[in-house]
Amino acid sequence: MNILGIDEAGRGPCIGPMVICAAMIDEKKADHLSEIGVKDSKLLTPSQRQMMFVKLSKLIRYEIIVVSPEEIDKAVYGTGGLNLNWLEATKSAELINMLKPDKAIIDCPSPNIGAYTSFIEERLKEKPELVVEHKADANHLIAAAASVIAKVTRDREVEKIQEKVKEPIGSGYPADPVTKKFLMKNFDKYPEIFRHSWACYKTLKEMKYQKDLEEF
């Protein structure tokens, strides 16, 4: 029986994409995950995650979806009847349809697990057993494996942004002082890397608009 785990990285930052990963393993080989030391990505250092990524690549099948800031903004603004949770659920269903597991364990971002589960089920071509719960990455090793791959991939996407802008961007989270400084200086210089629906970006854009009006 093939077991699949799904988790994301980069849901909260105002810079860069969100990455959703589905990792799958034959249940007979699942013990190998504990043998190589798989843990929730938040419990591993960046270098440990990189090493774990290499080990996992040899052990499991996985698929990744990189969700751009633009697509996130459309969901947050409700374009197409989505919100961020439904966007993540839609991508999770796509990943399940790609890999066709017998069982899928999904880390749920919504407080309403029942509604989230139903939303995914409606979009599945086949009907695997679904386990949808909060903190699945802490409770199931295959979901933890997905969290590692998602985090490493997200970090690589941020590195690409860093190379492009050639100055420190910090963690990407709005509370990070380095990110705050970068955002204030560059929010209209690199609009494609920011999530325009985040409050920190909207505030700066409104301030600029107000300033332009006053100067006009």
Domain boundaries, the chain: 2-163, 166-215
Lowest-confidence pick of 63-72, 73-82, 91-100: 73-82
At residue 154, the 3 state secondary structure works out as helix
Give Cα separations from 46 to 36, 49, 53, 132 (angstroms).
16, 5, 10, 27
Predicted pLDDT at 40: 87
What does the angle CA 146 – CA 155 – CA 109 come to, to the nearest 5 degrees? 45
pLDDT per position as a tens digit, 149-172:
999 999 999 999 999 999 999 989
Tokens at 128, concatenated? 């695997």
- Fold for the domain defined by 2-163: Nucleotidyltransferase; domain 5 (3.30.420)
**If 0-12 CB within 10 Å is exposed, 13-18 middle and 19+ buried, where does residue 144 land?**
buried
Q: What is the mean pLDDT of the chain?
A: 93
The CATH number given to 166-215 is 1.10.10
For the entire predicted model, the pTM comes to 0.92
Q: Please compute the mean of the pLDDT values over residues 42-54 and round it to a whole number.
A: 93
- Please, what's the b/e burial string for 6-23 (b: 16 or more CB within 10 A of its CB; e: otherwise)? bbbbbeebbbbbbbbbbb
Predicted pLDDT at 206: 82
